[in-house]
Structure 1
Amino acid sequence: MIEVEVKAKIDSFEEIENKLEKIGAQKSKKEFQEDIYFNSPVVDFAKTDEALRIRTTKENDKTNIFITYKGPKIDSASKTRKEIEMGIDDAEKCSQIFEEIGFKKVRTVRKNRQYYTYKNFEISLDDIEGLEPYMEIEIGLDDNEDYSDAQNKIFELFEKLGITDGFERTSYLELLEKLYK
């Protein structure tokens, strides 16, 4: 799957929620996410622009755990990249396996995320521990689909919501790494 994603720093969750409501976006779910990021023993993911994480999500009483690999970004305007994700049962054991074969824990990123749906967009308002508020808009595509049209539509939606700057191509992990080095 190709994930076409753009994120922007926002001033206020309330302001954006009101704008999303006005255009007809629907709240879909709210969850807590904990992402444990790892670096490879073979290549430095910070240099190759890849990511490997274990994500634990909690929504009400439901917990889900996923391993996600994100490939290098494939354009200069967004975070468009290949993504492979797989559900697992035990984050701690998976983390132990990764560490036993040489992967190193980099950082844990925690956030509360409110999801919205609008047409074929997934929109999230992200309250990340240690960072200011952000909003992400994404569309998932098949590997063979052209991402440039999807990317343009995402930027058009941002503009419709009154957001024309504050865009960020770096991940929350990278933003936290810069902040706390």
Structure 2
Amino acid sequence: MIEAELKARVHNPEHVMGQLDRLAEGRAEVYQDTYYDDPSGSLDAQHQELRVRTIHGPNSTRSVLTYKGARIDSASGSKPEHETRVDNPEAVHAMLRGLGYAPAIAFQKRCRNYEFSSRGRSLLATLVQVPEIEGTFLEVETMIPEEKELSAALDDIRSAMGELGIHADDFTSELYTDAVAARRATE
């Protein structure tokens, strides 16, 4: 599967949240993300990601292991994605370290997730705040089976984001991992 996704800086979070609240019930969650790489940094160099995410919700905690392949669209950063739920995240962390991977960066994301349909697609919209980065972001994604559907999926996502009040100059392809690393480098 391919994760077709766009991300934007949100200049009026209250307005966007109000628009999303009209579409679906929001779900507040805190993500604890740990990204792994080998000692040479080959995953990062190839724009691949290997991540363990633990999601803390109001009523439960769950963890997932995610591998994202290299970007298939440089403007959006959309990538093939494979993800599975894990019952024992500490065991997964130990396995990855045992296989020679090391934590490259870890940080927290405070999210409010909304699942809704638009233009015949199931979308996940997430309002994101990363404590180490200034501002609020909006990510909207959908999963598609083939790369040939990417352009149409991104057009649909872009339209949905426009209806939420996102403008063309709000879009960004900056990665949270890069922004957090840059912030830590200045401290």
For normalisation by structure 2, the TM-score amounts to: 0.87
Q: Which amino acid aligns with 1:138?
A: E
Cα offset for 1:72? 1.1
- Mind listing any 5+ residue stretches in structure 2 that lack a counterpart? none
Root-mean-square deviation (CA, aligned residues, Å) is 1.7
What's 1:8 paired with? 8
Structure 1 segments of 4 or more deviating over 6 A?
none
* Conserved 8 A contact 1:37-1:108: yes
What's 1:173 paired with? 177
Mapped pair 1:153 → 2:156: yes
Q: Tell me, what secondary structure is at the counterpart of 1:16?
A: helix
* Conserved 8 A contact 1:65-1:89: yes
Counterpart-to-counterpart distance in 1, 2:65 and 2:116: 27
What's 2:59 paired with? 61
What's 2:76 paired with? 78
Cα offset for 1:180? 2.0
Counterpart-to-counterpart distance in 1, 2:77 and 2:56: 25
Cα offset for 1:43? 5.2
What's 2:110 paired with? 112
Which one of the candidate residues 127, 143, 159 is aligned to 2:129? 127
* Conserved 8 A contact 2:16-2:165: no
What's 1:103 paired with? 101
For normalisation by structure 1, the TM-score amounts to: 0.90
* Conserved 8 A contact 1:30-1:114: yes
How many positions carry a matched residue from both structures?
A: 179
Cα offset for 1:66? 0.8
Cα offset for 1:145? 5.4
- Mind listing any 5+ residue stretches in structure 1 that lack a counterpart? none
Question: Once the two structures are superposed, what CA deviation does each residue of 1:109-140 show, in whole Å capped at 9, x if it has no partner?
Answer: 21121111231221010121211211101111
Cα offset for 1:11? 2.1
* Conserved 8 A contact 2:24-2:116: yes
Counterpart-to-counterpart distance in 1, 2:131 and 2:25: 22
* Conserved 8 A contact 1:27-1:114: no
Change (3 A) 1:144 1:12: closer
What's 1:141 paired with? 144
Q: Percent identity?
A: 25
Counterpart-to-counterpart distance in 2, 1:7 and 1:180: 22
Counterpart-to-counterpart distance in 2, 1:177 and 1:89: 29
Question: Once the two structures are superposed, what CA deviation does each residue of 1:32-86 show, in whole Å capped at 9, x if it has no partner?
Answer: 1111110124652221101001010111231111110011111132121100011
